Amino acid sequence: MNRLSVSGAPLAGRLLAAVLLLATSLNAQDFGAVDALAAKGDLAGAASALSEMASKDPKAAKDPKAKALWMRLGDGHYQKKAFREAADAYAKAAEISVDARSPFNAACGYALAGDTEKAFSWLEKAVATAAYPPATIEADGDLASLRKDPRWAPLLEKARLTIEPCRAIPELLQFDFWLGEWNVRPNGAQAYIAESRIEKILAGCVVVENWMPQRAAGSGRSFNTYDPARKQWRQVWVSQTGARVDFDGALVAEGQMRLVAAKDAQGNLSRMTFTRETPDRVRQNGESSADDGKTWTTTFDFLYERKAPVLAKAEAVLELPRRDVLAEGVAFDPASGAYFVGAVHARSIYRATPSGEVTLFSKKEDGLLGVFGMAVDPKTKSLWAATSGLPEMQGYTPADDGRAFVAQYDLRSGKLVRKVGVPKDGKKHVLGDVILLPSGELLATDSAANLVYRVPAKGEVLEVYAGPGPLRSLQGLAPSPDGRTLFLADWSQGLFRLDPETKSIEKMKGPDGANLRGIDGLYASKGALLGVQNGTQTHRILKISLTPTGDASAVEILEAGNPEWSEPTLGVLVDGAFVYNARSQWGLFENGAVDRNRAKLRPPLLMKLKLT
């Protein structure tokens, strides 16, 4: 039975409401007599008297007092489980005047009485009042006998469209290619300038864009809807300053919408064309015309690139007990099965056994700076760690700025063997990663000087191997299987190739639309590259397939937006899996901010992503 009143209020107390209504409005003697019979429980006598009175006086038949009495009689019969009599009484009430409750209650009564035809007839009338969403109809147990009838599903759909009529307008689907969560950049540029969320509201009647630029100024919303009478789309743009622009337009081709604004104060026209280039990219081209549309000049050209969906397939390996370390690099010792985690803020290296026991591997007297990338050399049983002076490390002083060295440890004894530093040239240096080549040669990358260094077999100074060339923000390095090419990750530009013979560096080509900027750690795996991309709005782990000439042929997203992440950084390949630092939390440490952010810190986390 319906639990809604005409006004939408609960009907649990409908009998009381009816009594109050009668008490205040039933003044005529005849209605009073009917009410008295009902009060005594003589429902059949009251119905007979009410019917006789209605047959003699047409005005009384349509009186609101009569409707209230029929509803009261329906409630009384329903409570006594006389469902047909209840349904007949509700039907009488419904015939007096249009409302939502009486036809629905009549449908419920007839369904319980087994009269399917009348039940559907009255349910159709209830649906027409637009008061009953499908969920309300489906949830009412009194209608259970109707659910297997072939008319049930169409009726629910009719109820949905009665309440949400915009869903029945096919033209309102024309702009659906723009829906989603997007990063936005100027066409031809690399950096994103805004985020945009486009969604439908008001049961599909309106498409809303939420424009969120990276700078606070310039935010706004556009409201887009289709006018069936004019057969046109209308957009109203409102900025955070209250400025408003109205556009009208239509679909000019499949996946292409054009909207035109009226002339501005200078007499110029403006228009925007939205074009779906791929399912994950939409181009928005703005133009203006000073000659009534004869010629058009581009005013802006944006690419909306769909944010990567959340892909969370990796599993946790271990957490460090100490939270305020700023974990960065990861290494693995195949002989012992132990993992090593480098910490920038703690200026330390931690060792985790296969059983999960975490201990401090380095010693304070080793004098490490912030520890970044690391590598294990199984032949020499050494652990190599890149370490650099940064404000994010504890105990930082201005004298540490520009200091950087590679530290060698004996894996068996845990003793520091030697330090190999950057040249003392007075420049800033940040050693971010150290890589062991298949040849046994050891290289380190410098993201400040954009140089690749070779670690000499002896000596205390790193040797310049290559760079800087076109590099601007050097990060990870990975060798090809044959050693003839070294692949470099430049955080601000993308991927590069380094020829070990000539030391020439050139930009790698990639698939159309692929974003290879913002890659930190880079690794070679089964003829492809793995990249930890933490410079995009949604952090990702990518698999980058290669052409025979060393360009990127395809990009596959292996992991994206994992809720356990907080800026993933570096990792290591272990037995067909990629084990990586998932939780560096750099943003909570930057420029010495860790003290005010300690309550927000979570334990550093290593995660394992199985590779196929």
For residue 445, pLDDT over 70 is answered with yes
| Residue 4's pLDDT band (cuts 50, 70, 90) | very low
| DSSP letter assigned to residue 295 | S
The pair of three-digit structure tokens given for residue 420, joined into one six-digit string: 């190999």
d(CA 386, CA 405): 6
Per the listing, tokens 């907080």 go with 566
Question: In terms of pLDDT, which residue wins out, 297 or 512?
Answer: 297
| Residue 1's pLDDT band (cuts 50, 70, 90) | low
Cβ partners under 8 Å of residue 276, min gap 6: 177, 178, 255, 256, 282
Please list the residues that pair with 124 across neighbouring strands.
none
Q: What mean pLDDT comes out for the span 44-60?
A: 87
For residue 412, pLDDT over 90 is answered with yes
pLDDT digits (tens, 9 = 90+) for 349-367: 999 999 989 999 999 999 9
Q: What mean pLDDT comes out for the span 80-104?
A: 94
Q: What is the CA radius of gyration of the chain?
A: 36
Q: What mean pLDDT comes out for the span 564-586?
A: 96
pLDDT digits (tens, 9 = 90+) for 160-181: 999 888 988 999 999 999 999 9
For residue 259, pLDDT over 60 is answered with yes
pLDDT for res 47 = 87
pLDDT digits (tens, 9 = 90+) for 306-365: 887 788 899 999 999 999 999 999 999 999 999 999 999 999 999 999 998 999 999 999
How far lies 311's CA from each of 45, 95, 184, in Å? 69, 57, 21
Judge contact between 330 and 607, C-beta under 8 A. no
Preceding amide of 468 cis, omega within 30: yes
- State the angle between helix axes of 64-79 and 14-25 in degrees (0 to 180), rounded to the nearest 10: 150
Reported as type and span, the H/E element at residue 92 is: helix 83-96
Q: At 12, which amino acid appears?
A: A
For residue 79, pLDDT over 80 is answered with yes
| Residue 20's pLDDT band (cuts 50, 70, 90) | very low
Cβ partners under 8 Å of residue 103, min gap 6: 90, 91, 94, 122, 123, 125, 126, 129
Per the listing, tokens 């991927």 go with 495
Judge contact between 402 and 389, C-beta under 8 A. yes
Give the phi and the psi of residue 298 in degrees, each rounded to 5: -70, 130
| Residue 293's pLDDT band (cuts 50, 70, 90) | very high
Judge contact between 258 and 250, C-beta under 8 A. yes
pLDDT for res 29 = 54
Statement: the pTM of the whole predicted model exceeds 0.75: no
pLDDT digits (tens, 9 = 90+) for 218-235: 899 999 999 999 999 999
Please list the residues that pair with 385 across neighbouring strands.
374, 407
